[in-house]
Structure 1
Amino acid sequence: MEAYLKTIGYEGRRDVTPDTLKALQAAHARTIPLENLGFMCGEKVLHCPLAVCRRIVLGGRGGASPELNGAYCWLLQQLGFQAYLVACQLYDHQSGSFLPEGSHIAVLVSLGRKRFLTDVSCPAFSKEPVVIVPHKVQTDAVGGRHRLRRHDEMTWSFQKLFFTSFDGPLFEECDIAPDPNPPWTTVYRISLIPVVLEDFKHLTTVIYQNVKSLKGERLFSPKRDPLVMTHTKRGRKFLIGKRFCTVLYKEGVARKTVTDIDTSEEMADVIWREFGIRFLEEKQLMTRIDLLYERRTRRSSI
């Protein structure tokens, strides 16, 4: 536990309070990236939280969504929080339907009479824990607005007000002004019944080889380009394919910057410098990235 807290750079209070929960989520989301680098080298989803913790602490790695929230839930439990995992169904905006239960895993925390939903791996999640109350609009530190919609006592949906078209063009350097009348967008549906990560061992392996982003891009397939994402204090940063992007939310505007990456060596530098990942199988990863660059070059010349 001490090594884990040191890895995420957390030196704050350890009392079991909403403020501590908020600080822990912020520290974890800013330091441990969501990434698919392991998938590019043939890794499978880890379903043992302690194994994920070891990989994060000793290997300097991030992980897929169930891995990160599974390890984070373990950390909260070690600190004395009444925390457990809950199964979610990501909403597929291309088909207009929900993926199977377990396509995402989040963390539920009980503090006195209040319950909080927290999530350190979903790019669209609030930068702060969300109180489990129906339809109340909750605003986080960067102005993001979120709410929970109750279907019944145990089934809820997490919804967000995006800027425009899921935060605007993905690979264009631009300032995105908020839509004055944005629609509420469902990110995922949650069952508040506690689950064990191992129960979804087969499903999460299959799902995370086929899951798509809100823009319809497949993210966690071994044949995909590199994907790495972390939150920052005022936004987030991410590497997708051959582009490094940052989003900064300030005064109601999302300012997006994009940097093209020309070589696999530059990509390795970005992965280390921006996300702190020094891949254990770096040679294997770089070989995979070189093949992707080579394949793109051949395709563009046809």
Structure 2
Amino acid sequence: MSDPFTLDLHTYLNRLGYSSAPPPTLATLRELQARHIAEFPFETLANLLHTPVHVDPATVQDKLLRQGRGGYCFELNQLFLLLLQALGFEASGLTGRVVMNQPEDVLPARTHLLVLVTIDRVRYIADVGFGGMVPTGPLLLDSQEQQETPHEPFRLSLVDGTYTLHALAADGWRRLYLFDLQPPAEIDYEVGSWYVSTHPDSPFLGQLLVARAGHRQRKTLNNGSFAIHRLGEPSERVQLPDVDAVLQVLREEFAIRVPEHPQLRGALERMLADAKARQ
């Protein structure tokens, strides 16, 4: 039997810039979500290296709070959910199906985790783990109107009990993921993460995808392509020339403490070669 998990609330809040626990209000949720996305990057270094991604809370907490790393949705949103619950929010997890850049008739597996939060009997979804298009503020669940965030506008649609999250991108409204209100079990996190980190059809396997959102900008790294997207301005993109440039961007632009791994340089070299071959 595993040891009971204890959230290191003091260290977590300190990383987010709090000296004491804030109250469980909508204003706090907005601030927590924005700070979390800015502090803890979305990153798939483990997927690049084909190493297992364990999503038990103790391992996730150690990775994010002590190893100087980020993670993907089953890590970022799971720890964020535990934080909200520790602060007294009424919050629970939901699982979703990622449909971004997919045909309308495709119904993929449940490989995304998001958070449902109820404040004063009003329901919101919060998400700190959807990479370069993560919503940077909580969204009203029971509204199909356009909703503003510190970055792009978003909207939800509802058909036959299934919600679809859309973001307003430069080319119009873009579908991101589908979800419903069926409560997941912890095993669903394990299975979803196992698929994402090991299945040959996973879009993350062998890929380096990194994202971080700050004040009026987003930074993304898609294998060797580094981009800065500023609100109201053209995006800046650069193809990184070598492994050292990638490592520098990971450390300086995304504040990731890059792990010592004997296969890392080789994996990055292959990634850059593949990216160059696709150009």
After TM superposition, the score normalised by the length of structure 1 is 0.80
Sort the Cα spacing of 1:267 and 1:96 in 2 relative to 1 into closer, same or farther, 3 A: same
Sort the Cα spacing of 1:282 and 1:275 in 2 relative to 1 into closer, same or farther, 3 A: farther
Contact 1:91-1:186 at 8 Å conserved across structures: yes
Report the secondary structure of 2:154's partner residue: strand
| Cα offset, 1:136, TM superposition | 1.9
1:192 pairs with 140, 164, 181, which one?
181
Match of 1:277 in 2: 256
2:144 pairs with 135, 138, 144, which one?
135
2:193 equivalent to 1:204: yes
2:249 equivalent to 1:265: no
Sort the Cα spacing of 1:117 and 1:293 in 2 relative to 1 into closer, same or farther, 3 A: closer
Determine what percentage of the aligned residue pairs are the same residue.
26
1:51 counterpart letter in structure 2: T
Match of 1:229 in 2: 211
Distance in structure 1 (CA, Å) of the matches to 2:242 and 2:167: 36
Sort the Cα spacing of 1:219 and 1:275 in 2 relative to 1 into closer, same or farther, 3 A: farther
Match of 2:92 in 1: 84
- Relative to its length, the structure with more strand (as a share) is 1
2:163 equivalent to 1:156: yes
2:30 pairs with 19, 22, 27, which one?
22
Report the secondary structure of 1:290's partner residue: helix
Sort the Cα spacing of 1:31 and 1:53 in 2 relative to 1 into closer, same or farther, 3 A: same
| Cα offset, 1:20, TM superposition | 0.2
Match of 1:172 in 2: none
| Cα offset, 1:186, TM superposition | 2.2
Deviation sequence 1:225-271 (CA, Å, 0-9, x none)? x221111111210112222110000xxx2421123322211211111
Match of 2:266 in 1: 287
2:47 equivalent to 1:39: yes
The CA RMSD measured in Å over matched residues stands at: 2.5
Distance in structure 2 (CA, Å) of the matches to 1:111 and 1:211: 40
Distance in structure 2 (CA, Å) of the matches to 1:23 and 1:13: 13
Gaps of 5+ in 1: 165-181, 213-217
Gaps of 5+ in 2: 1-8
Sort the Cα spacing of 1:294 and 1:3 in 2 relative to 1 into closer, same or farther, 3 A: same
2:164 counterpart letter in structure 1: S
